[in-house]
Structure 1
Amino acid sequence: MPHFSPFRRAGRSLRVVAGSFIVAAGLMSASAASAEKLTIIVGGMEKQIYLPAVLTRELGYFKDEGLDVELINTRAGVEAENELLAGAVQGVVGFYDHTIDLQAKGKFIKSVVQFSQAPGEVQMVSAKFADQIKSPADFKGHTLGVTGLGSSTDFLTHYLAARAGLKPGDFSLLPVGAGNTFIAAMKQDQIQSGMTTEPTIGQLVKTGVAKILVDMRTPEKTVAALGGPYPAASFYVQSSWLDSHADDAQKLANAFVRTMRFIASHSAAEIAEKMPKDYLVGDKDLYIQGLAEGKAQFTPDGRMPADGPETVLKVLAAFSKNVQGKQIDLSKTYTTVFVDNAAKTLGN
């Protein structure tokens, strides 16, 4: 019988273990390689209106679908839209109204998952000018803050003014972003009124810098301000990408619909616990309060609200020369196929 030294036996054992590590590493590498890498740009990740994007990542739902999703930030939806059209990203978390505005320009994008049924936006007025600006009719002669020119805050501000009987030349718009830049513009009197979201709203009110003029954080208040439901925050992609990447779109829809269900079934405090701490801007209680007041804006299932697209088209057509006189096919601006499939997959 041949004699094997313990050193030879140990060497063979080491080779077996090493081989196991190589196989395991290969499996891990293959698993990592199988994850789809997708880049989604968000028109202001710190805004509560776009909370579903970050919450989906934090809950691990992208990974559950085998997706490797990178979320990148920009300060306004119009910038995100441009990145999508340039092919730099696969999708955008931004306002649905861009789908109509772009179709009027001959470009086609489509909302796949509808996050909200109200804008979640508030028209604020500087406390210093609250006696002068008591309604949108008083915008005349003043400078109004928006996140960016051509953004959804731009669209909504123009509509509030038009509904009050004003013309575009009656007031000025200044792009000031959101958060600290918006607050600074208000404090420095660069703007006398402006449209923004939580958590900026709460900070302005708490510090006494500004007051609420027009509130569009709930469906009911939105109907009062805009004349109907206004689907806003959504996940949209180029129609051509959707046609060729239906599997990826379905996985994203599955993840996002799970998040919408999570939001619907959890309190503002429970949702805030899942968010990165820097999103709370140093005041967790204020963040929770703002989320509680605006939580009704979110859809419970990712579906487009009935009559929502028609309201958005009406709003844009009231002032936008891009949209006026154009034939808009609303059926090409959104789809419910992927959220319907997600509902079947997820069950009740």
Structure 2
Amino acid sequence: MSSRRISRRTFTTAAVFAAAVGVPLVRAQGARPERSRVTIVHGSRSSIPALPLTIAEQLGYFRAEGVEVEFVEQAPAARSLQDGGAGPGDVVCGPFEQVVQLQGRGQFFQSFVLQGRAPQVAVGVSTRAMPGFRGVAQLRGHRVGVAAPGLMSGMVARLVLARGGLDPADVSYVGLGAQWEAVSSFRAGQLEAIAHTDPVITHLEQRGELRIIGDTRTLKGTQEIFGGPMPAGCLYAPQEFIQKNPLTCQALANGVVHALKWLQTAGPSDIIRTVPEAYFMADRALYLAAFNKVREAISPDGVMADEAVRTAIRTVARFDAAVRIDRIDASRAYTNDFARRAKDKFHA
């Protein structure tokens, strides 16, 4: 039992070590980034969790920092930087648990700016398939659709079901495709329950097709499911890339944190004017409703909480046999250096 617990003392020591020998300081104010063009790999830019990245691009915040960003869609995005950095990307926009999973396999990547401070995944049951639903135990023997079985949607689903007394083997997990493919599968009766992000969840909720039984779109719901704060989307890259390109990473962090600040006060008309029309999927009202559902889950400043990292490591270790808490170096999984400098710049 003790081998799977991460102590506060160990974690603090790691954080101090990171400050001493980790990310190089960016001293030259106004200096140009080492790279004028960066490729960011992502899963789905039209999903609500990726909204900060969309805002930074649409409002020219990356360009203002001297970096042109090319986006490459690939799901799951983590695959693009595995095998020693091979693939189409320099940086990944993905959930923080991927960083922990990669480290558990001996691949060291580091998060350098946080976008979401809660996973934004909700779990619900079909009101059509299970109209008399009374409790999680009724899902035994049924099918649960998840955005990605080995990533956050799968973890949230398993945690919610575990609270109801179900083991992973008690249900069949089904990997889903893109957002509206997930909706189609759900409506076709291929699933009794689903774990996904917005706007999929809000779309099904609004039409009375889904009953929510677990929700990490709020901080309270996240605390209940994970037993602590749980980080979500972030920008991460191989440590070597961050070491060699600190000004480039700072430029990217500045762009994201600038977008996060904008989102704190953005109203419906601001969102409508800024987000590409295609992302609304022909329903602006739905998109705005989904945004309001997850608003508090969006990081206000890009800074990762130490407690959230501890929660992430405990959670991943619970579900991934390749990850052992005693072998995870928290100091190599994230740095707040870039986000804090960006916060000083835009939140002063």
TM-score for the superposition, normalised by structure 2: 0.84
**Distance in structure 1 (CA, Å) of the matches to 2:305 and 2:267:** 22
1:7 is matched with none
1:128 is matched with 128
Q: Structure 2 counterpart of 1:81, which letter?
A: A
| RCO higher in structure (CA 8 A, sep ≥6) | 2
**Distance in structure 2 (CA, Å) of the matches to 1:135 and 1:95:** 29
**Contact between 2:72 and 2:89, CA under 8 Å: does it hold in 1?**
no
**Contact between 1:198 and 1:290, CA under 8 Å: does it hold in 2?**
yes
CA distances 1:312-346 after superposition (whole Å, capped 9, x unpaired): 12222333222246521222111000011222333
SS in 1 for 2:112: strand
CA distances 1:221-250 after superposition (whole Å, capped 9, x unpaired): 211222111110111111121111111101
**Distance in structure 2 (CA, Å) of the matches to 1:134 and 1:321:** 33
**Distance in structure 1 (CA, Å) of the matches to 2:347 and 2:191:** 48
SS in 2 for 1:174: strand
The verdict on how the C-alpha distance between 1:208 and 1:328 changes in structure 2, with shifts beyond 3 A counting, is same
CA distances 1:65-106 after superposition (whole Å, capped 9, x unpaired): 1111011223x4xx2101122242011111001111111111
1:213 is matched with 213
SS in 2 for 1:125: strand
Q: Structure 2 counterpart of 1:240, which letter?
A: E
2:314 is matched with 314
**Distance in structure 1 (CA, Å) of the matches to 2:347 and 2:170:** 52
SS in 2 for 1:117: coil
2:232 is matched with 232
The verdict on how the C-alpha distance between 1:325 and 1:310 changes in structure 2, with shifts beyond 3 A counting, is closer
Q: Structure 1 counterpart of 2:205, which letter?
A: V
**Distance in structure 1 (CA, Å) of the matches to 2:103 and 2:164:** 27
- The 5 A counterparts of 1:237-252 are 237-252=237-252
Q: Displacement, 1:135?
A: 4.4
Q: Structure 2 counterpart of 1:80, which letter?
A: A
Q: Displacement, 1:183?
A: 0.6
The verdict on how the C-alpha distance between 1:245 and 1:134 changes in structure 2, with shifts beyond 3 A counting, is farther
**Contact between 2:160 and 2:214, CA under 8 Å: does it hold in 1?**
no
Q: Displacement, 1:347?
A: 5.2
**Contact between 2:214 and 2:225, CA under 8 Å: does it hold in 1?**
yes
**Identity level (%):** 28
1:158 is matched with 158
SS in 1 for 2:222: helix
Q: Displacement, 1:256?
A: 0.7
Q: Structure 2 counterpart of 1:151, which letter?
A: L
**Distance in structure 2 (CA, Å) of the matches to 1:210 and 1:122:** 10
Give 5+ residue unaligned stretches, structure 2.
1-33
The verdict on how the C-alpha distance between 1:296 and 1:248 changes in structure 2, with shifts beyond 3 A counting, is same
1:12 is matched with none
1:18 is matched with none
2:58 is matched with 58
Moved more, 164-173 or 234-243: 164-173
Q: Displacement, 1:35?
A: 7.0
**Distance in structure 1 (CA, Å) of the matches to 2:286 and 2:133:** 26
**Distance in structure 1 (CA, Å) of the matches to 2:71 and 2:142:** 36
- The 5 A counterparts of 1:1-348 are 36-74=36-74, 76=75, 79-85=76-82, 86-131=86-131, 133-324=133-324, 326-346=326-346, 348=348
**Distance in structure 2 (CA, Å) of the matches to 1:138 and 1:125:** 10
Q: Displacement, 1:146?
A: 1.4
**Distance in structure 2 (CA, Å) of the matches to 1:325 and 1:111:** 18
TM-score for the superposition, normalised by structure 1: 0.84
**Distance in structure 2 (CA, Å) of the matches to 1:333 and 1:272:** 35
SS in 1 for 2:228: coil
SS in 2 for 1:129: coil
**Contact between 1:130 and 1:211, CA under 8 Å: does it hold in 2?**
no
Q: How many residues align?
A: 313
SS in 1 for 2:339: helix
Q: Displacement, 1:171?
A: 1.5
What root-mean-square deviation, in Å, do the aligned CA atoms of Structure 1 and Structure 2 show?
Answer: 2.1
Q: Displacement, 1:269?
A: 4.1
CA distances 1:102-138 after superposition (whole Å, capped 9, x unpaired): 1111111111111111111111211123346544444
Give 5+ residue unaligned stretches, structure 1.
1-33
Q: Displacement, 1:252?
A: 0.4
**Distance in structure 1 (CA, Å) of the matches to 2:269 and 2:227:** 31
Q: Displacement, 1:148?
A: 2.5
1:9 is matched with none
CA distances 1:136-176 after superposition (whole Å, capped 9, x unpaired): 44432111111223222122223333344332222211111
Which runs of structure 1 show a deviation greater than 6 angstroms over 4 or more consecutive aligned residues?
none
The verdict on how the C-alpha distance between 1:185 and 1:326 changes in structure 2, with shifts beyond 3 A counting, is farther
**Distance in structure 1 (CA, Å) of the matches to 2:159 and 2:316:** 7
SS in 2 for 1:211: strand
Which has the higher Rg, Structure 1 or Structure 2? Answer: 1
